[in-house]
Structure 1
């Protein structure tokens, strides 16, 4: 902003900027505090001596976490689950959303009902478990990326996007040139859908990255378990040891346990936080366009 532009600021604009800065601080500071707390002694945090930087840098929480031999395997598992699962989700939900956006789809009304019913009525955990078991997916890589790849909500967002963003005249012009439905989808619809691809991809990636419950239910092999499940097991194990310890040992275990909690939050959320800024413009555009009422 130049000096000339600054002179044009009205009291309303100034108030708007102040409120915006306060909102940014309110949102950003807790994230920053978690990061600095992961490098701080829990005693300093409890005494209120940590505000913007650690009083004394302490890497004990990270050292204890990275002593776990399986953490790198679990980290790699989570990355692979996220990449493969996001690709499969896009490959399933985007074509389904496009097909449902077409007015000439045969049986479109009944297909809509078919997709909407599971959105409100679930089969339950036990029937789902037996179905997964029946397909032989227990304790396999694919159980984390295949059974739950279809999302009715994402399909509806994709359908609304295609309906509102792709003019019918484009389809008519493509037909005149001899373009079929499949070719039109890959050659015209997909290149014009970067925003909705980014939105659904980001939603799916965040869900897969943070997923631990499905791994808890369907995976017994430690070599296949994701990062979030490993961190959960480590923290629960620390609580068990803490309950059995006494005296100075209990104080040291409590200190390490608290530091490991903050460190676990940082290492489990940092990759997604780094990815989000690159997709933010597509994310905002896709959410707004996909939310247009039909």
Structure 2
């Protein structure tokens, strides 16, 4: 078959579209490249240049300073543990709740759905939540960074809509073969919901990895701090020491340390993203088309 010739208007649109998308991509990528480049830049280059994209002299001083304390590895282990356990717990609770609320025959289904939507608009606030956590004995416990954010209402609604989109005949056929409700969920629904599970797992993993406010409120023991809190302390301490010191050679520039902290806090999630990228769009869209 002959190729259809594109008109001049279509070619002009393609050029405009490619140019616009290239500009948008550069706007998104350049700040991150600046962060990475600044974290590797030398002291003189950071002081003399306002915007660094390709450092002329690579320096690892900022990363050596961040990794100089052994507590960072403990904080990293805490964050990895919270992210892994929290994501697992959240997915188990969210998927079970979403599947139950997706069944039309569930008694009180509309009432529970209303409560979930209501929680998206109104919350108890910081002080009531702290009092609840304290009354449960979770202060200074790792669970205080998991249980208060265990279920996200929006994530639950996306999964519920995904289960609602699946045909009821699958469940009916499985039950005719003697499968229980739990068996239908584990053997039929979960394998079909893998795109949605991968997408929501990424959402939860990012939330737990970036745990900050809950750790500030509920964790008084510095040995239980996650990586985000420790990195914040490193930035504060380095900035304070440089402000009090007359010599700039004692520590790397505060700007370099800040950029290195951003890289350390961001890279793990960037590494995990490609593994779920193929499920991301499919899972998010399939769970959001039905209300």
Q: Give the TM-score taking structure 2 as reference length.
A: 0.91
Matched, 1:283 2:280: yes
Report if aligned partners of 1:158, 1:196 keep a CA contact under 8 Å in 2: yes
Separation of aligned partners in 2, 1:96 and 1:253: 54
1:73 aligns with: 74
Q: CA deviation at 1:121?
A: 1.6
1:143 aligns with: 144
Report if aligned partners of 2:93, 2:151 keep a CA contact under 8 Å in 1: yes
Separation of aligned partners in 1, 2:153 and 2:205: 16
Report if aligned partners of 2:238, 2:254 keep a CA contact under 8 Å in 1: yes
Q: 2:269 aligns with which of 269, 272, 285?
A: 272
Instruction: Determine helix, strand or coil for the equivalent of 1:203.
Output: helix
Q: CA deviation at 1:51?
A: 4.5
Instruction: Determine helix, strand or coil for the equivalent of 1:56.
Output: coil
Q: CA deviation at 1:293?
A: 3.0
Separation of aligned partners in 2, 1:46 and 1:289: 49
Change over 3 Å in CA distance of 1:291–1:42 after alignment to 2: farther
Report if aligned partners of 2:38, 2:52 keep a CA contact under 8 Å in 1: no
1:153 aligns with: 154
The 10-residue stretch of structure 1 (233-242 or 268-277) with the greater mean CA deviation from structure 2: 233-242
Separation of aligned partners in 2, 1:231 and 1:49: 24
The 10-residue stretch of structure 1 (25-34 or 198-207) with the greater mean CA deviation from structure 2: 25-34
Report if aligned partners of 2:117, 2:153 keep a CA contact under 8 Å in 1: yes
In structure 2, list runs of 5 or more residues that go unmatched: none
Q: How does 1:194-209 map to 2 (within 5 A)?
A: 194-209=194-209
1:263 aligns with: 260
Change over 3 Å in CA distance of 1:287–1:46 after alignment to 2: farther
Separation of aligned partners in 2, 1:128 and 1:50: 42
User: C-alpha offsets along residues 107-152 of structure 1, whole Å, 9 cap, x if unaligned?
Assistant: 1111112223222221121221121111111111221222320211
Q: Give the TM-score taking structure 1 as reference length.
A: 0.90
Q: How does 1:225-244 map to 2 (within 5 A)?
A: 225-244=225-244
Q: How does 1:1-294 map to 2 (within 5 A)?
A: 10-48=11-49, 51-164=52-165, 166-245=166-245, 247=246, 249=247, 251-252=248-249, 255-294=252-291
Separation of aligned partners in 2, 1:172 and 1:273: 41
Instruction: Determine helix, strand or coil for the equivalent of 1:67.
Output: coil
User: C-alpha offsets along residues 10-48 of structure 1, whole Å, 9 cap, x if unaligned?
Assistant: 443344333333332222222222111101035424533
Q: Structure 1 runs of 4+ off > 6 angstroms?
A: none
Q: CA deviation at 1:257?
A: 1.7
Separation of aligned partners in 2, 1:52 and 1:121: 44
Separation of aligned partners in 2, 1:130 and 1:120: 21
Separation of aligned partners in 1, 2:122 and 2:20: 42
Separation of aligned partners in 1, 2:227 and 2:267: 13
Aligned length: 286
Give the alignment's Cα RMSD to 1 decimal.
2.2
